[in-house]
Amino acid sequence: MLENALTQKPLSLEVLDLEAGVNKYFNSAAEFLKLNDSSKILLSTAEKEIKVSFPVTMDDGSTSIFTGYRVQHSSARGPYKGGIRYHPSVTMEETKALASLMTWKCSLVDIPYGGAKGGVICHPATMSVCELERVTRQYTDSIMAFIGPKKDIPAPDVGTNELVMSWFLDEYNRQSGCHHPAVVTGKPISIGGSLGRLEATGYGVAKIALAMLAENNISPSHATVAIQGFGKVGSWTAARLAQAGCRIVAVSDITGGYYKPDGVSIEKAMKYVNASPQGTLSGYYEKGLTKISNDALLGLEVTLLIPAAMENQITEQNARSVKANFVIEAANGPVTPAADLVLEQKGIQVVPDILANAGGVVVSYYEWTQNLSGLSLSHKEVINRMDQKMLQSLNTILKVKKETGLSLRQAAYVIAMGKVADAAMLRGWNSAKKNADNY
């Protein structure tokens, strides 16, 4: 099952600049915080940009050269933390943008990490499991000097999973000659993973979505939901929302959308995906279900629209047809800045990625602390603690939004960047303090 999830076909992505989007949000929060130019440069520049190339022997005996990246954006608040992506569209620019999102995310939810991101340009769908293992081991060797349990701690992202983390851990331990379970998170439970990590990101997305419903006096039983992406994040988001009584009218993956007005059975759909050779919904059927396009899913009249696939999915063009009350960004950067404006003008509230999908890194933090302390938490403790952190962070954002009139995203960036600016100043990296003292 782990192997199947690695071999899904990748997206053909619209070419849109995630880095430009993240910079735009950064600049607007920097202006609000009245950061001076040197602080802006300090906070927006990655501390390290690592590019590696390494040879891998393929199953047919040939040798392929792969390119990988690790960007370490900020260590002002703690060791670098961020996932590893295996996808043909991985670039240095995308990795930089995703690394800075990790810095703001960890700061927003108040966990003592900085931000990083890594990736390898590869096409998991066309590779065997043995080839993926060799790529992972070679990539680990190539960035070995830059990572470590108190230095930089990777985790899974698109195209990687628990199995990839196991190989990463094993290779790191072999090369270092010591057992260091805290060097990666998102590991299988049997080798030091945390209970609850698998479902954490999706559960966190669902917790925030349910809190937004409560904030707006909408009962879950009156809420309809459409979810784009049915991988690690989308499927667990769907499972928790369905359990809370919401009606999931549509889900989708790379094979298209699956629409059922009286509610898709998430339990059946998850079982189907787990058993399918490609790890997709292709061929999934239940009575009353029809196939729709991914674009049609984004335009459904629903209470909650949850993009949980990849970046740049809601663009200026298709944002005009979004009819949801709320968009909850489960993926990183799924709404372009131009689309964000369109949604705002339409009165649609967008919960930003740096809050909505932070449950994963919060539970990664619990996994790391368990590895370092040797103590373990129960599933219930992990999920309760994560829920509490997510709600505290949402409440802080709502408070700042109310006080300032900023959007949820702007408020989230202001809070997150303010804390990183303070840490950098206290460490003597920059004498220029931000001027908006309350944030």
Ligand X SMILES: NC(=O)c1ccc[n+]([C@@H]2O[C@H](COP(=O)([O-])OP(=O)(O)OC[C@H]3O[C@@H](n4cnc5c(N)ncnc54)[C@H](O)[C@@H]3O)[C@@H](O)[C@H]2O)c1
Nearer to ligand X, 223 or 362 (CB): 362
By the rule CB under 6 A, 231 interacts with ligand X: yes
Q: Is 158 in the site for ligand X (CB under 6 A)?
A: yes
Residue 63 and residue 148: Cα distance in Å, rounded? 29
Site string for ligand X, 347-376 (x = CB under 6 A): ----------x--x----------------
* 276 near ligand X, judged by CB under 6 A: no
Q: Contact with ligand X (CB under 6 A): which of 228, 303, 312, 370?
A: 228
Contact 235, 202 (CB under 8 A): yes
Q: Are 50 and 70 in contact (CB under 8 A)?
A: yes
Under the binding rule (CB under 6 A), the answer on residue 386 touching ligand X is: no
User: 110 near 412, Cβ under 8 Å?
Assistant: no
Residue type, 95: T
- The three-state secondary structure class of 314 is strand
Nearer to ligand X, 159 or 193 (CB): 159
Short-list 202, 81, 107, 75, CA closest to 397: 107
Could you say whether residue 331 binds ligand X (CB under 6 A)? yes
Catalytic position from the list 34, 40, 96, 117: 117
Scanning residues 117 to 156, which ones bind ligand X (CB under 6 A)?
Answer: 156
Q: Return the closest-CA partner of residue 39 out of 80, 74, 87.
A: 74
Tell me how far apart the alpha carbons of residues 328 and 322 are, in angstroms, rounded to a whole number.
Answer: 13
For residue 40, indicate whether it is catalytic. Answer: no
Please state the closest distance from residue 124 (CB atom) to ligand X, in A. Answer: 9
* 10/5 Cα distance (integer angstroms): 11
Query: Which window, 141-149, 216-224, 246-254, 263-271, contacts ligand X (CB under 6 A)?
Result: 246-254
Annotated binding residue 201: yes
SS3 141: helix
Q: Is 364 assigned to a binding site?
A: yes
Question: Closest CB to ligand X belongs to which residue?
Answer: 231
Between CA 90 and CA 123 the distance in angstroms is: 10
Give CA 13 to chain center in angstroms: 17
Pairing of strands 63-74, 115-121: antiparallel
From residue 298 to residue 327, the character string flagging contacts with ligand X as x (rule: CB under 6 A) and all else as - is: ----------xxx-----------------
Residue count at the site for ligand X (CB under 6 A)?
A: 27
Smallest distance from the beta carbon of 117 to ligand X, in angstroms?
A: 9
* d(C-alpha 133, C-alpha 6), whole Å: 11
Provide Rg for the chain, Cα atoms: 21
Residue 332 touching ligand X (CB under 6 A)? yes
Contact flag: residue 226 with ligand X (CB under 6 A): no
Report, as residue numbers or ranges, the catalytic residues. 117
| Residues in contact with ligand X by the rule CB under 6 A | 8, 11, 156-159, 201, 228-234, 252-254, 280, 294, 308-310, 330-332, 357, 360
Binding residues for substrate: 81, 105, 364
